[in-house]
Amino acid sequence: MVTLKHLAEQLNVSISTVSKALHDSEEISPDTIDRVKALAKHLNYKPNKVAISLKNSKTNTIGVIIPNILNHFFAKALYAIEKEASKQGYNIITCLSNEKKAKEINSLQLLSNGSVDGFIMSIAEESQIANNVTHITDILNQHIPVVIFDRVSESIECDKVIIDDFGAAYEATKHLLSEGRKHIVLISCIDDLSVGKLRTNGYVEALSEASDYNNKPKIITIKTNDTIEESIQELFKNNPSVDGIISIDNTSGVVALQKAIKLNYNVPEDLSIIGFSDENVLQFTDPKLSTISQHTLDIGKSSVQLLINRLKSKDQQKPVTKTIKTKLILRETTK
């Protein structure tokens, strides 16, 4: 690795002269600047990032903790985070908690030693279930900023980026009601998550407000990914008169649609389906699934912006919660 020292020795000047020259300091003669820069270029000098980080107590690196990278929502969020961070001159160190609290703790601990300037994260399922997030407040107490997106916790006072989960499900349910649906079922693979509960509440609330709706809310909760198909099979078996399905997770809407077609339901004439997915699943469905779009790119981008603002502002400002608008996109599985 080429250092300032090397350049200085070759040019018979001091290290500080070289440093200043490379920064176009007024103090250095144009001639010297040229010579220094020429040699630097020739030797492919690159300032050592680690040394600069140490000097500045600032790494320009963000720690990102993702619960499950195989979930398309999070992959897309990571995509957006990396893009915005990169644009703003930050690198990201990625940790995957794989929904485990222990891994989440470990990542926070390992990186809160000067490795990163701050964190962007979404809370692991295990931590949400245990409702134990002291490992995150610990980090905040060390004055390391954290931005939490999507899966948040009220016990943590920090910047957050969420969507209006309640409102999104409420709106989707309202739409099905407006179609005259009489037997609307909600499917959830994320019953344990904060967002899952909120979405479910939105559904229940919309139904309860509908005076001419007589069925009780019917909620199918699915615990493990492996049983999605079975559970949905059963749903149709036990509720043949279902005429509206709202799926509040990434995948079950697609599976429900596929099974419905297999069972010869007319979609959307006799049965409407609304999913909570990104566009990526559309190529796998025909008719095209109507969905609630979460604007995942905005979620990632906003998270980075909040964090960088926090890093740049000297004074302690109050935590901000940014709510990203969702959009109900009616395609071919709704009337």
Partner DNA sequence: CTGAAAGCGCTAACAT
Partner DNA sequence: ATGTTAGCGCTTTCAG
Q: Does 60 bind DNA (CB under 7 A)?
A: no
Task: Determine the Cα–Cα distance for residues 157 and 138; give it in Å rounded to an integer.
Answer: 11
Q: Which of 12, 31, 113, 216 binds a second copy (CB under 8 A)?
A: 113
| CA-wise closest residue to 93 among 128, 66, 72, 71 | 66
Q: Which does 270 bind (CB under 5 to 8 A by kind): DNA, a second copy, none?
A: none
Binding mask 207-246 for a second copy (x = CB under 8 A): ------------------x--xx-----------------
3-class DSSP state for residue 218?
A: strand
Stretch of residues binding a second copy (CB under 8 A), selected from 59-67, 153-161, 196-204, 319-327: 59-67
Look-up of token digits 């916790």: 153
Q: Does 320 bind a second copy (CB under 8 A)?
A: no
How much of the chain is in helix, strand and coil states, percent to nearest 5?
45, 15, 40
Q: Which of 38, 102, 110, 129 binds a second copy (CB under 8 A)?
A: 110
Q: Does 13 bind DNA (CB under 7 A)?
A: yes
Q: DSSP state, 100?
A: -
Q: Which of 19, 32, 91, 132 binds a second copy (CB under 8 A)?
A: 91
**With CB under 8 A, what is the number of residues at the site for a second copy?**
55
Please report, for residues 61, 64, 223, the alpha-carbon distance to residue 69 in angstroms, rounded to integers and kept in the order given: 20, 11, 19
Q: Which of 53, 132, 221, 309 binds a second copy (CB under 8 A)?
A: 53
Q: Does 44 bind DNA (CB under 7 A)?
A: no
What does the angle CA 245 – CA 250 – CA 254 come to, to the nearest 5 degrees?
A: 50
327-329 sheet: strands from edge to edge:
218-221, 184-188, 244-247, 272-275, 290-293, 327-329
Beta bridge partner(s), residue 146: 119
In the bound state with DNA, the residue whose beta carbon lies nearer, of 108 and 156, is 108
CA dihedral in degrees (140, 144, 149, 152; nearest 10)? -10
Judged by CB under 8 A, the chain residues 130 through 189 that form the site for a second copy are 142
- Least spacing, CB of residue 228 vs a second copy, in Å: 6
Stretch of residues binding DNA (CB under 7 A), selected from 29-37, 127-135, 179-187, 271-279: 29-37
Task: Determine the Cα–Cα distance for residues 148 and 122; give it in Å rounded to an integer.
Answer: 5
Q: Which of 61, 194, 247, 294 binds a second copy (CB under 8 A)?
A: 61
Footprint of DNA (CB under 7 A): 1, 3-5, 12-17, 19-20, 22-23, 25-32, 45, 47-48, 51-52, 54-55, 57, 114
